[in-house]
Amino acid sequence: MAEVAHMIDTEVFLAFSTYAAIVILKMMLMDLFTSYLRLTKKVSYKSRTQQMFYSTHLNQCNVSPKVFANLEDTNLVKTTEDRRKCVRVDPDVERVRRCHQNDLENIIPFVVIGLLYALTGPDLYAALLHFRVFVGSRFIHTVAYLVALPQPSRGLAWIVGLFTTFSMAYRVITTALFL
Amino acid sequence: MAEVAHMIDTEVFLAFSTYAAIVILKMMLMDLFTSYLRLTKKVSYKSRTQQMFYSTHLNQCNVSPKVFANLEDTNLVKTTEDRRKCVRVDPDVERVRRCHQNDLENIIPFVVIGLLYALTGPDLYAALLHFRVFVGSRFIHTVAYLVALPQPSRGLAWIVGLFTTFSMAYRVITTALFL
Amino acid sequence: MAEVAHMIDTEVFLAFSTYAAIVILKMMLMDLFTSYLRLTKKVSYKSRTQQMFYSTHLNQCNVSPKVFANLEDTNLVKTTEDRRKCVRVDPDVERVRRCHQNDLENIIPFVVIGLLYALTGPDLYAALLHFRVFVGSRFIHTVAYLVALPQPSRGLAWIVGLFTTFSMAYRVITTALFL
């Protein structure tokens, strides 16, 4: 970790900045997508299986097309329905929220570990490999989650991202070790 | 992004450090506030509407003034009640937790993007504008969430914070671009 | 905060990198542990009390040994059971997830504030004290949460970690103050 002060301006750091910004933007889009779903959700399921699966749920909410977590949010939409029925839990919104939560749990550690990793002065090609594999795996993970691809596609994308971060953390600890 | 190593000591970086610390402290206070509510919560709703809204819920928990997520936490309070009834979900505690979760999903990206943004050497006044607008919007968001102000107050505060972060991310990506 | 550019290579920064990487690795292991539990969970409770506590829950799920959040995940295990019954909520998995969420809410602020703190050029022994106390308190917190130690053990570990971060944030704000 010698001379890191001079390395903060290197290509590795520029690459880290670019990939970190891209992957964080992707994470923030999940936030926008959740809000979009909450405001526009119609009760419509893609398949009969899904509908049967959520049948108990549908019985409670099939008169309410919007999904809000707070009572005061219901005045965001014009509706003649009972507003209280709009405060409900929807399986599709919950799916996006679980995907977002998984992003938080994986992308934030990547960004923090990646910053320290970029400061250890790694080889440019090794660093680019780590950043590209991680960012790619998270995009695959998001697609696999949102369209419910059969497993283990999502599980593999998640584990690849996790081990990329572990690999960077290993280099940070072995390079910087000072307990 | 030239000469960033010399820029880490600039006024932009000092400003970033100050605003980042303030907004993270605000986020951590939500954590303390949740614990405070869990320990002191009495079942008391502000309005008749709210009470009716949560009536199903009240039927289960109106004998239990505390709100815990774990059984072992119930020995934090002296009570003659059935301890198991204290392990429950409370609408006010859930409101604070949703606010805290929204902070996590927005403030952490701001801090990471803001750090990279400060290293791109932006104009001091542009940087201060970004930091002040974001921190201000998050304080308004928290107040709007906790006292349940009518929408779209909370929605606007959230979207202003989001676009401030997008604006900084745009500068990071265009300045540092190295894929 | 003078001459921080030269301080990024100091022992304080090396110590920060080491402790930050360790505590983030610990947090990511919670993610792996959740997945492990979801795939291997058998319905077996340690005590009669716990079993009674979750009795309502058990009635719904005692034929289903696995715990998934998504229907498509159920093809990860070979089972002759009804797959839909595997999509359920389990008290032990929820405990790990609450522990993970608390990590997110406390470790990420520590890492961000700790980075800014390391750049303010603190005394090495003061910095090491902060980092060691925080990392120690989080390990105690995790053990206390997972094996359900009697309170206030977990509460104390949490509050110690919180005040360590507050102490570092105080130094960041007083050193860098630029509003």
Q: With 50 as the cut, is the pLDDT of residue B57 above it? A: no
* Residue B144, min C-alpha distance to chain A (Å): 10
- State the Cα torsion B120-B125-B126-B128 to the nearest 10°: 90
User: Are A103 and A97 in contact, with CB atoms under 8 Å apart?
Assistant: no
Q: Which of A2-6, B18-22, C82-86, C124-128 has the lowest mean pLDDT?
A: A2-6
Can you tell me the ipTM of this complex?
Answer: 0.76
Contact between B41 and B67 under an 8 Å Cβ cutoff? The reply is: yes
B20 lies within 8 A of chain C by CB: yes
At A119 the pLDDT is 84
> Which of B97-101, C54-58, C84-88: highest mean pLDDT?
B97-101
**Whole-number percent of chain C with pLDDT over 70:** 73
**Dist. CA A111–CA C20, nearest whole Å:** 12
Q: Does C177 touch chain B (CB under 8 A)?
A: yes
CB contact under 8 A, A151 and C100: no
Q: Is 70 exceeded by the pLDDT of residue B142?
A: yes
Residue C47: predicted pLDDT: 45
CA distance A48 to chain B (A): 31
- Contact between chains at A1 and C14 (C-beta distance less than 8 A): yes
Q: Which residue has the tokens 């923030």?
A: A28
Asked whether the predicted pLDDT for residue A146 surpasses 80, the reply is yes
Contact A21 B172 (CB under 8 A): yes
Band (A19; pLDDT cuts 50, 70, 90): very high
Whether the CB of C109 is below 8 Å from some CB of chain B: the reply is: yes
Whether B119 contacts B8, CB under 8 Å: yes
Instruction: For residue B107, give how far its alpha carbon lies from the nearest alpha carbon of chain A (Å).
Output: 11
Q: Average pLDDT of C88-96?
A: 77
With a pLDDT cut of 90, the percent of chain C lying above it is 22
Minimum Cα–Cα distance from C173: chain B residue: B18
What would the DSSP string read from start to end of C65-128?
Answer: ---BSSGGGGGGS--SS-GGGGB---HHHHHHHHHHHHHHHHHHHHHHHHHHHHHT---HHHHH
Q: Which one is predicted more confidently, B127 or A148?
A: B127
Cβ within 8 Å, pair A162-C111 = no
Report pLDDT digits (tens) over B71-123.
777 766 666 566 666 666 777 778 888 888 888 889 999 999 999 898 888 88
Reading the block at residue B135, the tokens are 């921190």
Pairwise CB contact (< 8 Å): B98 & A69: yes
Q: CA quadruple C137, C141, C144, C146: dihedral positive or negative?
A: negative
Confidence of residue C56 (pLDDT cuts 50, 70, 90): very low
Pair A108, A26: CB distance under 8 Å: no
Q: How far is it, in rounded angstroms, from Cα C137 to Cα C128?
A: 14
Report which residue type is found at C39: L
Average of per-residue pLDDT across A39-58: 51
pTM value?
Answer: 0.79
| pLDDT attached to residue A90 | 74
Residue B175 pLDDT > 50, yes or no? yes
pLDDT at residue C111, as a whole number: 93
Q: Determine whether the interchain pair B18/C178 forms a contact, defined as Cβ–Cβ distance below 8 Å.
A: yes
Q: Helix (H) and strand (E) counts for chain B?
A: 7, 0
> Which residue has better confidence, C113 or A65?
C113
Q: How many CB pairs under 8 A join A and B?
A: 93
Size of interface B-C (CB pairs under 8 A): 93
Is A53's CB within 8 Å of C28's CB?
no
CA-wise closest residue to C95 among C61, C159, C22, C144: C144
pLDDT tens digits, C106-161: 999 999 999 989 888 888 888 999 999 999 999 999 888 888 777 788 888 899 99
Cross-chain Cβ contact A116/C20 below 8 Å = yes
Here the tokens at position C177 are 């103050």
Q: Hey, is the C-beta of C14 within 8 angstroms of any chain A C-beta?
A: yes
On whether any CB of chain A is under 8 Å from the CB of B155, the answer is yes
Which residue's entry shows tokens 């399986």? Answer: A91
Residue B87 DSSP label: B
pLDDT tier at C24, thresholds 50, 70, 90: very high
Mean pLDDT across C27-50: 69
Q: How far is CA C56 from CA A61, B38, C53, C59, C62, in A?
A: 24, 24, 8, 5, 10
